[in-house]
Chain A
Amino acid sequence: MPSIIQVQDVSKAYRRDSFDIPVLNNISLEIPEGEFLALMGPSGSGKTTLLNLIAGIDRPNKGTIVVGGTNIASLNESHLAKWRSTHVGFVFQFYNLLPVLTAFENVELPLLLTSLSKKDRKQHVEAVLTVVGLKDRMNHYPKQLSGGQEQRVAIARAIATDPTILVADEPTGDLDKSSADEILTLLERLNKEFKKTIVMVTHDPRAAEKAHTIRHLDKGELK
């Protein structure tokens, strides 16, 4: 299997006041297509940072990141934004749905950036909401849904554009056990049935169990 994500010699430090806080030190990582990878490690070890770099919402200080053949560090802001909209699906710990939009509208949001017609968008949205089992709730607002349901809508939003990779940062971190199980089962299914490459950050060993591979980050080093 060819690698869909290649991280090479990546370092990242955040600037706070006048000094740099190193977060990642010369990290290299290859993720093959169709992989379901869990990234674990203690708090503050740089998991989110690495995920953000792979997803193209942050830039490394050093090193290259190639996703699906594109060296994303070389793209300018607007190209990177365009690239994200078609290649990356995001799932966050706190769902990050827009409260003023219904489930349907939230899922439709990334599709507004495509050239799809209104009719096609509707088809897409309904299809992915069916995959996550919430088609009957599509006219509900986030506050009318449970946490697990909100996260399923967020997953539907993430896969609506059929992205190359799916990144999830502690997707079950805010959920009870049974909701978390639903989400994990859903991610597993997306990986198996829909062949989605998934990179998931998690603290939860039971979540990590569902993944094919588990990598540990500690003090900026990958193990």
Chain B
Amino acid sequence: MKILKLVFKNALRHKLRSFLTILGIGIAVMAFGLLRTVVTAWYAGIEASAANRLITRQAVSFIFPLPYAYRDQIAKIPGVEIVTYMNWFQGVYIDKNQFFARMACDPETFFNVYPEFIVPPDQMETFKKERNSCVVGRDIAKQYNLKIGDVMPIEGDIYPGRWEFVVRAIYQPRDKTVDGTQMLFHWEYLNERMKQEMPIRAGDVGWYIVKISDPSKSAQISEQIDALFKNSRAETKTETERAFQQSFIAATSAIVTAMNVMSFVIIGIIMLVLGNTMIMAARERTREYAVFKTLGFSGGHLVGLIAGESFLISFFGGGLGLLMTFPLINMFEAFMPKGWFPIFNLEPITMILAGVSALSVGIVASLFPIQRALGTKIVDGLRHIG
């Protein structure tokens, strides 16, 4: 108990040094938390994808369209339950910085393939009925204060012209892994206008989403779909939704790996920061430790004294870091374009990992000073000039 008091007094001996060490650990823990959160957010998108959905896209590139006529052909393949299709619309809503997915879909089939987008039945009914209606995610409705009946004017870019959509439904994501930031409208509405203004683009579909009844047949069905359109003017590439997502992030995966590594490098940095402080403290107190031993205090007492101080500093550093992580994550999310990371949370596992790392670093950082204090002979310690 008295030792504990001494631990506190020792930690407060060089207030500025201890404070800077605590701050250093805090910042490192905060950086760790942010990096891990970004990495986790990155993979959350893949985790959320369903195994019973295949994506069929143009074989050369995602940006080339497929003919609408493929729809019925795909639907005939045994094992295919539902075929739906989408187009990437984008456009400018309010200004260029408002980034979230805006896509054309088939209202009749989309929600059967994506049951994780939950729309109240009455809203669903009006949405399906009106050609220029759209459905927006809960998060988008909240962010732009959109209510049922509001008009969303969008300046087209991929599909030029001025577009106006009426919000007729707001979907709720089924759970927190589901993106609540999408805007969907009738593919037919888009197609009608293309027929009039750019007939060459009429009947274009961005990609097909194929719901299959047995996920274990995904490879076989994918092959069958692609075989159908072999040697046609638009060959296809079909893969599971998960593989599709992964191919998207493959390019960025090097960065993600780097961030992953960085987050653990940071733990090494915490160790050096704290280790340095503890070694300085132990060196200054060489003579004091010799006095302790002279008075009959045991090695165990010194271990408690040194490890206790290190642990105390890492405890406050870790705590401070975690406290700072919350506002940082919120700030980071606020500064990022909406929809980049639909799911961006500080996971409990990240907090536990950060806290446990800081504390174990506290123990490890005290090993060298402890070894030094125990290894120094009393007579040498007493002769030490601090």
Contact = CB atoms under 8 A, between A and B. Distances in A.
Interface stretch (A2-10, A31-39, A90-98, A176-184): A90-98
A121 to B, nearest CB: 10
A110 interface: yes
A81 B6 contact: no
Contacts of B235: none
B291 A57 contact: no
A84 B2 contact: no
A85 interface: yes
Contacts of B294: 55, 57, 84, 90
A90 B298 contact: no
A113 interface: yes
B9 A81 contact: no
A85 B13 CA distance: 27
B379 A52 contact: yes
Interface string B275-297: 00000000000011001011111
Nearest to A110: B295
B298 A78 contact: yes
A127 interface: no
A112 B2 contact: yes
A100 interface: yes
B113 interface: no
A110 B13 contact: no
Contact of A90 (B10, B287, B295, B379): B295
Contact of A96 (B2, B13, B287, B298): B287
Contacts of A81: 293, 296-298
Interface residues of B, number: 19
Nearest to B293: A81
Given A81-B296, A84-B296, A101-B6, A96 B378 contact: no
B379 A85 contact: no
Contact of B6 (A92, A100, A113): A100
Nearest to B10: A100
A101 B2 CA distance: 11
Interface string A143-176: 0000000000000000000000000000000000
A84 B295 contact: yes
Contacts of B296: 81-86, 110, 113
B80 interface: no
Nearest to B378: A57
Among the interface residues B6, B295, B297, B382, which one has the most CB atoms of the partner chain A within 10 A? Answer: B295
B212 to A, nearest CB: 72
Contacts of B6: 98, 100-101
A30 interface: no
Nearest to B5: A105
A149 B68 CA distance: 98
Interface of B: 2, 6, 9-10, 12-13, 287-288, 291, 293-298, 377-379, 382
6 contacts: A52-B379, A81-B293, A96-B291, A99-B13, A100-B6, A101-B9
Given A55-B294, A83-B296, A92-B291, 18 more contacts: A57-B382, A58-B377, A58-B378, A58-B379, A81-B293, A81-B297, A82-B296, A85-B296, A85-B297, A90-B295, A96-B288, A96-B382, A98-B6, A100-B6, A101-B6, A101-B9, A110-B295, A113-B296
